[in-house]
């Protein structure tokens, strides 16, 4: 049904709605946008009007966009609701008039000695001194604006002076011809940069290619070596270094030794069964074989750990310093679109989300290249108004951070720092500015905290007014309809006296969490490309005369949801953001953050982009940052920091094909998310030339079995011809056209012969096109609920659907296509977030991860089914991701084996002989030695490693087992699994920072580990008493059983401690059920296998 009416919805229609409190559905005029314009970068052959004039021409349209909230959806027209929003560029109108209007310049215009602007031509065209001299010297005295002669000036004299002043510069830089641009790539690949620079005219100063050689008049391409750069050395942006051989070589040797020892031990165990307790021996051997296999899967990908460093100075020098290709020194860095996702303001407090947004807006990245999109999947007015408050507060917070170099740039974290805030601050006005901003932030927090009550009171007042109107109309009509049948909706109202188009507090048709319109609100306009300083302060305001006060673009997005359409949870929301951002800003890179993960290091975005812009960066699909957490108890009882995974496993994967995607803190290449393959596929070995080499195979077209043999030889990059595959992305022309632009802009600079796929320097210094109403209307169109019908979104494009761990699957698909990823560990944590420190919440978090792994194992995303482009050790790592929950089955059995040994007076081996003890000692010592070496090369602490081991057993005996059962139910019976959001702490408990740690909430996940604890305790007591009172005590059996029981209990100690809470408030039902289960198991075993008759404990248990 959705596909049948798609043709009728293809052309967006915008209806303007005024801020009246009358009929909300009234349509005042309308404007249809049936044609779309693809904007090409300005070249000498394509010269649009100057930016300042263009801004004036579209001023009314841009103001219309920035002051309106756009809504729409399935079978609904797109409407623009007029709103008053924050202007992110308050000084644009005043400041833009002081700069040269000639494209590619941006310098200050001509002024006299008094500093007053001088207009050489009567047309009023603004021009700087340097460009004016160029016009006189090379343009025969013509004005670049009106093409008329400059009057009242001695042109020849000025031209002569101009040549004298600028004799050392040659600013007539001709552009290379089209055929020569294609010669850059010595292979047969299509050069996408040619359409940006193909021209026969001159760019003037700042040409993208080198000038003519004065000796022979020939032209050089970008790979040439002009005199200007003769002494300039090319600098890499990143550096990869392996772990010291003194640590890595013994580490690999120990892994090999332990593999041999495990093999010999298992062979000995199989060949020496315990005839007296064959069942006990069999269970233990099966578990030990699985543990050895599981350890091997976990350990092999750790063979090649690496470290990486970045050079931020080289990045600035290459992309932001003045050069012949960028004379104005404008940033040539690619754009970044930051996605922040939230779904429920009750579980994810708006204040936390607002602080995350503020830290993003204050990040150290070119303002005009940064855009922030907030996805509110719940469609809540509370989140919308909180973001509006954050946009308002950003006008004072962001300049304050830039002026005083504040770290971190999350106001809540900054003002709660335990260190001296005045350390290393030398500006005299810092104290005054900090006090003012602190006061403003306190007021901001009060407003955020009061939004919920404000919305409720406002809605109650408007609903009461509407009820009075309806009742009055009912009385005037003298209707026979009973008053009880009148249905008066309890709407949620905005501050401008209109209905909120999203989810209402009291759900109603078309206004519930699963049924509401799509909403886009540009809260901060796209900034200008020219820095704008603030004004000098007085006694009540900050002095911002030397601070850039521009703010990045901020957009609020709520996708449409309707009954009958699967919204695909977080993955669907992220894909909606991908499409909307492609229409509005089209940043070549996307940074994904959860609402509670803020930017802790303001330079993190620059460090991440270093990897994308370096040599071979075009083959990197994403840069994953480690997750770091705040608000965790000092002992890290439940291993919330997860340092073993982030500092050991992820560093090791970085030496293979790259780390896995963990759901947040990840910088994506947009074209990789679109499902394309990397520009070149390298046949590199997996970790080193001597380990698991892979033979080179010819490329084939696997997706087209019936193609002509000649077509097989075509490059796989032909898939980038978006015009041939519009069904892959949907019916949006703007979206399809944006893909090619994003692919080109995301390429590294072609400033080195080894860079095979690069773009020309200076291509991204042009200002961004302003937003208009048709662009926003198209963005509304692509986030509608029906848009993904019969497309590949969620299948091979964007975030992948069908798993509760969509992050792992999405990263796996990219690696499976041949992409590689990079792990960026910054000296100062890049991002910080919160983690559930409560035992119950932590177990449910682990349950969700493990359930997703089980789903991956039983799906086509199993690493065993991966393509040959997935490297061998990377395949093992992904295989381990899908297999590790199944270890819980064997782990639970093994945790009961010590108790069963004590009850039966038997052990897993016949006797504790020397051979068994030697094997046990060797396995233990190699494990400890590997742990020590891992601690050394990863930088973690011994306590963190031990906490990880403890929680491995806690999670394995609780959440992992439940995940296996749920996964099997989904695969076999088709029962869908649903999870709730984990509540984020607001940190408002001033009495105890770790209050959540002591909160006990019962869950069935606690039953298995509780039972293991009680059974082992009872078994220890039983075994000790039996051995003590026995005529012939079997101390070896007791020693083995008690030792392994204590090993199990030591791992479960944090779990037992968490049950006690702060004051031992564990529910009685926990002890009752666990005690009953433990006693039942104990009595059942005694009944089946009673103690020997010579025991003094008593006779056997007899059932009645």
Starting from the edge strand earliest in sequence, which strands make up the sheet with 370-376, in order?
28-32, 13-17, 76-82, 68-73, 518-524, 553-558, 370-376, 336-342, 589-594, 666-669, 620-624, 820-823
pLDDT at 261 over 50: yes
Q: Does the structure show a pLDDT above 80 at 942?
A: yes
Look at 197-201, 480-484, 757-761, 1006-1010 and tell me which has the smallest mean pLDDT: 197-201
Indicate the SS3 state at residue 111: strand
Q: Answer yes or no: is pLDDT of 1078 > 90.
A: no
Edge-first strand order for the sheet with 831-834 is 598-599, 831-834, 628-630
Question: Strand 620-624 to strand 820-823: parallel, antiparallel, or no bridges (unpaired)?
Answer: parallel
> Looking at the predicted structure, is the pLDDT value of residue 989 above 70?
no
Instruction: Compute the residue count for the chain.
Output: 1104
Q: Which of 332, 525, 596, 807 is catalytic?
A: 807
555: DSSP letter: E
Rounded CA-CA distance 69/780 in Å is 11
Annotated binding site: 341, 347-348, 377, 569-570, 594
User: Which range in 212-216, 786-790, 996-1000 is most confidently predicted, on average pLDDT?
Assistant: 786-790
pLDDT value at position 906? 82
What is the mean predicted confidence (pLDDT) over 422-432?
83
pLDDT of 388 reads 95
Give per-residue pLDDT as tens, 85-94. 444 444 433 3
Catalytic residue selected from 89, 191, 377, 686: 377
- 114 vs 867, more confident: 867
- Whether residue 194 contacts residue 182, with contact meaning beta carbons closer than 8 Å, is answered with yes
Architecture per CATH, 312-421+429-453+495-627+662-679+738-835:
Alpha-Beta Complex (3.90)
Three-state secondary structure call for residue 938: helix
Residue bearing the bigger pLDDT, 624 or 1073: 624
**In what helix (H) or strand (E) does residue 442 lie, and over which residues does it extend?**
helix 430-449
Tell me the per-residue pLDDT of 272-297, one tens digit each, with 9 for 90 and over. Answer: 998 888 999 999 999 999 999 999 99
pLDDT top residue among 902 and 693: 902
Q: Who has greater pLDDT, 983 or 870?
A: 870
pLDDT band at 1088 (very low <50, low <70, confident <90, very high): low
Nearest to 820 by CA among 654, 683, 620: 620
What are the backbone angles phi and psi of residue 1059, rounded to the nearest 5°? -70, -25
Stretch 898-911: mean pLDDT, rounded? 84
Whether the per-residue pLDDT at 186 is higher than 70: the answer is no
Instruction: Give the pairing type, strands 589-594 and 666-669.
Output: antiparallel
pLDDT higher at 170 or 298:
298
Residue 1079: its pLDDT value, please?
61
pLDDT of residue 413: 93
Residue linked to tokens 């990059």: 717
Least confident interval from 46-55, 542-551, 1029-1038: 46-55
- Token pair in block for residue 59: 């001023």
Task: Please provide residue 644's backbone torsions phi and psi, each rounded to the nearest 5 degrees.
Answer: -65, -40
% residues pLDDT > 90 (the chain) = 43
- Joined together, the tokens standing for residue 866 give 């991966």
Q: Establish whether 654 is a catalytic residue.
A: no
752 — pLDDT class (breaks 50, 70, 90) = confident
Out of 42-56, 220-234, 428-442, give the one with best mean pLDDT. Answer: 428-442
Q: What pLDDT shows up at residue 168? A: 34
Instruction: Report the pLDDT averaged over residues 642-655.
Output: 94
The overall average pLDDT reported for the chain is 77
DSSP 637-666: TT--S-HHIIIIIHHHHHTTT-PPP-SSSE
Q: How many CB atoms lie within 10 A of CB 141?
A: 18
Which three-class secondary structure string do you get for 323-368? ECCECCCCCCCCCEEEEEEECCCCCCCHHHHHHHHHHHHCCCCCHH
Closest CA to 290 of 1039, 950, 956: 956
Q: At what angle do helices 839-857 and 806-816 cross, to 10 degrees?
A: 40
Q: How far apart are CA 457 and CA 310, in angstroms?
A: 52
Handedness of CA 1073, 1074, 1077, 1080 (dihedral sign): negative
Whole-number pLDDT of residue 147: 66
pLDDT of residue 983: 60
The full 3-state SS of 470-513, as one line of letters, equals HHHHHHHHCCCCCHHHCCCCCCCECCCCCECCCECCCCECCEEC
Q: Which range (75-79, 412-416, 989-993) has the least confidence?
A: 989-993
Spatial separation of the C-alpha atoms in residues 397 and 357, rounded to whole Å: 11
Please say if the pLDDT value at position 312 is more than 90: yes
Would you list which residues are annotated within the binding site for Mn(2+)?
Answer: 570, 594
- CA 559 centroid distance within chain: 19
Sign of the CA dihedral 160, 161, 166, 168? Answer: positive
Per-residue pLDDT of 61-88, as tens digits, reads 555 666 677 777 766 667 776 654 444 4
Q: Annotated catalytic, 377?
A: yes
Mean pLDDT value across residues 673-680: 88
Tell me the C-alpha distance between 419 and 407, whole Å.
12
Give CA–CA dist 782/732, Å, rounded.
7
Flag whether pLDDT at 883 surpasses 70: yes
Tell me the three state secondary structure of residue 376: strand
Closest CA to 887 of 961, 947, 969: 961
The CB density around residue 2, as the number of other CB atoms within 10 Å, is 18
For the segment 1017-1029, what is each residue's pLDDT rounded down to a tens digit? 998 888 888 877 7
Helix (H, G, I), strand (E, B) or coil at 738: helix
Q: What is the pLDDT of residues 344-366, one digit of tens each?
A: 898 899 999 999 999 999 999 99
Strongest mean pLDDT among 119-128, 153-162, 981-990, 1082-1091? 119-128
- Contact status, residue 848 vs residue 982, Cβ threshold 8 Å: no
The pLDDT-based confidence of 521 (bands split at 50, 70, 90) is: very high
- How far CA 965 is from CA of 27, 842, 885, 961, 976, in Å, comes to 54, 19, 10, 6, 12
* Cβ atoms 74, 785 nearer than 8 A: yes
Beta strand 620-624 pairing with 628-630: unpaired
Residue 662 has a CB neighbour count (10 Å cut-off) of 20
Tokens 């609701």 belong to residue: 81
The tally of CA atoms less than 13 A away on the side-chain side of residue 1048 is 28
Quote the tokens at residue 126. 């603004």
Please report the pLDDT score of residue 483 as a whole number. Answer: 62
**Per-residue pLDDT band at 559 (split at 50, 70, 90):** very high
């Amino acid at each position: 049904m959705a596909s049948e009416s798609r043709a009728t919805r293809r052309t967006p229609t915008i209806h303007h709605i005024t801020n009246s409190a009358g009929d909300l559905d009234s349509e005042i005029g309308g404007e249809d946008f049936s044609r779309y314009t693809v904007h090409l970068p300005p070249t000498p052959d394509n010269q649009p009007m100057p930016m300042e004039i263009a801004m004036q021409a579209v001023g009314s349209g841009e103001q219309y966009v920035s002051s309106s909230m756009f809504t729409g959806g399935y079978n609904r027209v797109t409407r623009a609701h007029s709103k008053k929003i924050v202007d992110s560029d308050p000084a644009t109108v005043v400041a833009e008039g002081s700069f040269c209007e000639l494209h590619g310049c941006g310098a200050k215009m001509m002024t006299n000695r008094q500093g007053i602007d001088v207009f050489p031509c009567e047309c009023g065209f603004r021009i700087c001194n340097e460009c004016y001299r160029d016009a006189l010297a090379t343009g025969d005295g013509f004005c670049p604006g009106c093409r008329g002669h400059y009057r009242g000036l001695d042109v020849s004299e000025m031209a002569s002076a101009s040549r004298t002043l600028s004799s050392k510069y040659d600013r007539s830089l001709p552009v290379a011809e089209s055929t020569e641009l294609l010669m850059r790539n010595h292979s047969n690949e299509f050069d996408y940069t040619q359409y940006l620079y193909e021209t026969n005219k001159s760019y003037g100063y700042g040409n993208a290619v080198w000038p003519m050689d004065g000796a022979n008049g020939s032209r050089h391409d970008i790979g040439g070596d002009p005199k200007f750069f003769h002494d300039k050395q090319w600098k890499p942006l990143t550096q990869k270094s392996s772990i010291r051989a003194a640590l890595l070589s013994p580490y690999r040797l120990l892994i090999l030794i332990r593999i041999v020892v495990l093999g010999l031990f298992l062979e000995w165990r199989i060949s020496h069964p315990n005839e007296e307790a064959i069942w006990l021996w069999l269970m233990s051997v099966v578990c030990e074989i699985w543990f050895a296999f599981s350890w091997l899967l976990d350990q092999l990908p750790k063979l090649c750990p690496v470290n990486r460093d970045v050079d931020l100075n080289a990045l600035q020098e290459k992309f932001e310093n003045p050069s012949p290709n960028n004379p104005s020194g404008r940033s040539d860095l690619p754009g970044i679109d930051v996605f922040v996702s939230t779904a429920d303001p009750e579980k994810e407090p708006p204040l936390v989300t607002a602080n995350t947004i503020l830290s993003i807006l204050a990040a150290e990245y070119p303002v005009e290249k940064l855009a922030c999109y907030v996805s509110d999947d719940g469609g809540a007015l509370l989140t919308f108004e909180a973001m509006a408050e954050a946009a308002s507060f950003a006008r004072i917070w962001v300049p304050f951070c830039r002026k005083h170099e504040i770290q971190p740039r999350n106001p809540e974290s900054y003002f709660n720092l335990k260190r001296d805030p005045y350390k290393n601050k030398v500006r005299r006005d810092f104290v005054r500015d900090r006090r003012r901003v602190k006061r403003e932030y306190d007021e901001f927090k009060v407003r955020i905290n009061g939004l919920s009550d404000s919305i409720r009171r406002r809605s109650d007042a408007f609903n009461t007014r509407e009820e009075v109107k309806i009742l009055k109309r009912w009385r005037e009509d003298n209707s026979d309809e009973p008053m009880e049948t009148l249905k008066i909706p309890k709407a949620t109202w905005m501050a401008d006296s209109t209905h909120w188009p999203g989810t209402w507090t009291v759900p109603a048709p078309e206004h519930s969490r699963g049924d509401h319109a799509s909403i886009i609100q540009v809260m901060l306009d796209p900034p200008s490309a020219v820095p704008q300083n603030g004004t000098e302060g007085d006694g009540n305001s900050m002095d911002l005369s030397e601070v850039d006060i521009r703010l990045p673009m901020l957009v609020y997005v709520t996708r449409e949801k309707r009954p009958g359409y699967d919204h695909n949870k977080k993955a669907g929301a992220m894909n909606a953001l991908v499409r909307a951002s492609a229409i509005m800003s089209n940043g070549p890179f996307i940074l994904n953050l959860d609402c509670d993960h803020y930017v802790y290091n303001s330079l993190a975005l620059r460090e991440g982009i270093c990897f994308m812009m370096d040599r071979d960066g075009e083959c990197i699909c994403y840069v994953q940052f480690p997750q770091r957490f705040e608000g965790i108890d000092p002992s890290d009882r439940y291993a919330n920091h997860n340092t073993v995974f982030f500092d050991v496993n992820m560093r090791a994967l970085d030496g293979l094909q790259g780390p896995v995607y963990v759901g947040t803190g990840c910088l994506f290449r947009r074209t990789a998310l679109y499902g394309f393959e990397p520009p070149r596929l390298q046949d590199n070995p997996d970790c080193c030339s001597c380990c698991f080499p892979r033979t080179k195979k010819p490329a084939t077209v696997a997706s087209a079995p019936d193609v002509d043999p000649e077509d097989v030889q075509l490059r796989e990059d032909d898939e980038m011809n978006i015009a041939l595959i519009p069904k892959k992305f949907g019916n949006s022309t703007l979206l399809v056209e944006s893909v090619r632009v994003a692919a080109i802009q995301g390429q590294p600079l072609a400033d080195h012969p080894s860079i095979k796929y690069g773009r020309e320097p200076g291509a991204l210094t042009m200002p961004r096109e302003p937003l208009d109403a048709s662009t926003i209307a198209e963005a509304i169109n692509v986030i509608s609920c029906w848009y993904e019908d019969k497309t590949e979104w969620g299948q091979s494009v964007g975030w992948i659907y069908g798993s509760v761990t969509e992050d792992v699957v999405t990263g796996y698909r990219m690696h499976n296509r041949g992409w590689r990823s990079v792990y960026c560990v910054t000296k100062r944590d890049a991002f910080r977030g919160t983690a559930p420190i409560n035992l119950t919440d932590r177990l449910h978090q682990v349950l969700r991860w493990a359930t997703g792994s089980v789903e991956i194992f039983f799906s086509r995303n199993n690493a065993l089914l991966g393509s040959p482009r997935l490297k061998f050790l990377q395949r093992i790592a992904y295989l381990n991701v899908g297999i590790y929950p199944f270890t819980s089955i064997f782990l639970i059995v093994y945790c009961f084996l010590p108790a069963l040994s004590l009850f039966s007076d038997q052990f897993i081996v016949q006797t504790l002989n020397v051979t068994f003890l030697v094997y046990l000692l060797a396995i233990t010592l190699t494990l400890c030695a590997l742990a020590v070496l891992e601690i050394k090369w990863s930088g973690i602490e011994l306590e963190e490693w031990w906490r990880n081991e403890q929680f491995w057993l806690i999670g394995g005996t609780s959440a992992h087992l439940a995940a296996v059962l749920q996964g099997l139910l989904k695969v076999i019976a088709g029962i869908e699994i649903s999870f709730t959001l984990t509540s984020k702490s607001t940190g408002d408990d001033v009495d105890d920072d770790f209050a959540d740690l002591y909160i006990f909430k019962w869950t069935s996940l606690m039953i298995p580990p509780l039972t293991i604890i009680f059974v082992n305790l009872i078994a220890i007591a039983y075994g000790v008493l039996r051995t003590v009172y026995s005529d012939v005590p079997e101390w070896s059996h007791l020693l083995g059983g008690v030792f392994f029981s204590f090993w199990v209990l030591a791992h479960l100690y944090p779990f037992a401690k968490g049950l006690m809470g702060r004051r031992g408030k564990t529910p009685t039902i926990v002890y009752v059920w666990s005690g009953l289960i433990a006693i039942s198991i104990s009595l059942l075993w005694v009944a089946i296998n009673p103690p020997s008759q010579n025991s003094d404990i008593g006779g056997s248990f007899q059932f009645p």
